[in-house]
């Protein structure tokens, strides 16, 4: 979407059918991120009656030739276990649906799901699921910092502010893969004298089972270590930063600045957050943010206080499929008890790796 635009959401949607008092009905909630895909079948009373997981299905990075079969497989495993249960609605939230053409392509790629009555009623970026998991406010922003980074803001009249979020070419900075890459980059420069000394020169090879930075570099270059190994270095960066390493701490500070910048710019484009008299939730999620690293938390909190007087930082450490399921259930008119039951079920299951109160 054009940076200057603040428009209504562009995801595919259609109104749900009237609610019928049939306890056998289910809704499907789909969350597809950079590292994993979850599909959950939820009964109308909020209980989880089916769940399957697969690898990441971000179509922007994997392409529909890979992402499509992953989504089909994970969904099929859930649907096969439903028997005669009727699928009332399906909400699909995927990382990588940032541009209009991507939403159009997604609609076409998943159109065949209508064959068994479970075609997507809502299909949009996974930031909307994160937003619902963190707040019911009609004026809010959300920032995800997981494998990658992205943000949006919404306003009560339906307007949204979004970013292309397609990497370096669209001005993005940060996310777990990027931070891991920076850990290796700084370690390499310190090791050969081009950069300042840092404890990363020891921590990086130790984390990868190597004896030196040079060995890491050569093993990545010759394919003995996969390029994706940098994802494993993100936690290393934070550990070294929190131990007092200046170089690593500067990278964490830069990431906090970028998170604050994304939220503040998105809100400003909608005319929100400029007055401390009107609180505006800023929902923060994704693996990097959910880990609640102290240096990152303090940088984000302080930065938001300085840039957005009305911002209320709201961390979501529940899995993204929580918000997807809440939105799906609400769309068919269930009550608060069902929503609470679903929230509790998500937090008690294996895919709920961490838990925290929804603010």
Phi and psi for 36 in degrees, rounded to 5?
-155, 160
Average pLDDT, the chain: 90
- Global pTM? 0.85
Task: State the alpha helices, DSSP H only, in the chain.
Answer: 59-62, 64-80, 100-109, 127-134, 176-192, 200-207, 213-221, 234-242, 246-269, 287-290, 294-307, 321-331, 336-348
Average of pLDDT values for 315-331? 94
Q: What gap in Å lies between CA 106 and CA 94, rounded to an integer?
A: 9
Element (H, E) at 311: strand 311-315
Q: Which pair of tokens denotes residue 175?
A: 């996310």
Report whether pLDDT(17) > 80: no
DSSP-derived secondary structure for 100-151: HHHHHHHHHHTGGGGGGT---SEEEETHHHHHHHH---SSEEEEEESSSEEE
Report whether pLDDT(7) > 50: no
Q: Please report, rounded to a whole number, the percentage of residues in the chain having pLDDT higher than 90.
A: 79
Res. 21 pLDDT band, cuts 50 70 90? low
Q: What gap in Å lies between CA 47 and CA 322, rounded to an integer?
A: 12
Q: What per-residue confidence (pLDDT) applies to 277?
A: 66
Q: What per-residue confidence (pLDDT) applies to 138?
A: 95
Q: What per-residue confidence (pLDDT) applies to 350?
A: 60
Average of pLDDT values for 301-327? 94
Q: What gap in Å lies between CA 254 and CA 241, rounded to an integer?
A: 12
Reduced to 3 states (helix: H, G, I; strand: E, B; else coil), residue 166 is coil
Order the strands of the 26-32 sheet from edge to edge: 12-13, 122-125, 87-94, 26-32, 36-43, 48-55
Q: What per-residue confidence (pLDDT) applies to 147?
A: 85
Q: What per-residue confidence (pLDDT) applies to 354?
A: 35
Average of pLDDT values for 38-67? 95
Report whether pLDDT(154) > 80: yes
Q: What per-residue confidence (pLDDT) applies to 5?
A: 45
Every domain range in the chain assigned CATH 3.30.420.40:
12-126+320-348, 137-317
pLDDT tens by residue, 231-241? 899 999 999 99
pLDDT tens by residue, 179-213? 999 999 999 999 999 999 999 999 999 999 999 99
Asked if the 137-317 domain carries CATH number 3.50.50.60, the reply is no
Q: What per-residue confidence (pLDDT) applies to 351?
A: 59
Q: Are 43 and 194 in contact (CB under 8 A)?
A: no
pLDDT tens by residue, 55-92? 999 999 899 999 999 999 999 999 999 999 999 999 99
Q: What gap in Å lies between CA 267 and CA 311, rounded to an integer?
A: 10
Res. 358 pLDDT band, cuts 50 70 90? very low
More confident residue, 18 or 8: 18
Average of pLDDT values for 128-133? 95
Burial (Cβ within 10 Å: 0-12, 13-18, ≥19) of residue 149: buried
Q: What per-residue confidence (pLDDT) applies to 341?
A: 96
Q: What per-residue confidence (pLDDT) applies to 10?
A: 43
Closest listed residue to residue 304, CA positions, set 258, 355, 250: 258
Architecture of domain 12-126+320-348: 2-Layer Sandwich (3.30)
């Amino acid at each position: 979407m054009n940076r200057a635009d603040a428009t209504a959401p562009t995801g595919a949607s259609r109104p749900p059918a009237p609610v019928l008092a049939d306890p056998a009905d289910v809704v499907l909630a789909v969350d597809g991120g950079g590292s994993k895909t979850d599909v959950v079948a939820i009964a109308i009373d909020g209980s989880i009656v089916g769940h399957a997981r697969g690898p990441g299905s971000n179509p922007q990075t994997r392409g529909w030739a890979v992402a499509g079969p992953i989504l089909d497989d994970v969904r099929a495993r859930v649907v096969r276990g439903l028997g005669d249960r009727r699928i009332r609605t399906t909400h699909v939230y995927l990382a990588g649906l940032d541009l209009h053409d991507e939403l159009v392509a997604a609609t076409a790629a998943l159109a065949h799901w209508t064959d068994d009555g479970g075609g997507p009623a809502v299909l949009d970026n996974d930031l909307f699921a994160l937003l619902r998991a963190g707040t019911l406010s009609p004026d809010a922003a959300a920032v995800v910092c997981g494998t990658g980074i992205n943000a949006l803001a919404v306003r009560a009249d339906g307007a949204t502010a979004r970013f292309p979020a397609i990497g370096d070419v669209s001005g993005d900075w940060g996310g777990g893969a990027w931070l891991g890459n920076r850990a290796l980059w700084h370690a390499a420069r310190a090791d050969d004298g081009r950069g300042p000394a840092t404890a990363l020169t020891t921590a990086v090879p130790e984390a990868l089972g190597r004896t030196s930075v040079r060995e890491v570099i050569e093993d990545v270059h010759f394919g003995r270590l996969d390029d994706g190994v940098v994802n494993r270095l993100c936690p290393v960066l934070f550990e070294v930063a929190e131990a007092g390493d200046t170089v690593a701490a500067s990278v964490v500070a830069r990431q906090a600045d970028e998170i604050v910048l994304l939220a503040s710019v998105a809100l400003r484009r909608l005319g929100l957050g400029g007055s401390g008299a009107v609180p505006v939730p800023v929902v923060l999620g994704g693996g990097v943010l959910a880990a609640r690293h102290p240096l990152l938390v303090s940088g984000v909190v302080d930065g938001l206080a300085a840039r957005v007087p009305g911002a209320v930082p709201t961390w979501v450490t529940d899995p993204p499929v929580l918000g997807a399921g809440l939105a799906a259930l609400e769309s068919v008119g269930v009550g608060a008890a069902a929503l609470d039951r679903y929230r509790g079920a998500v937090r008690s299951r294996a895919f709920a790796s961490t838990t925290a109160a929804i603010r």
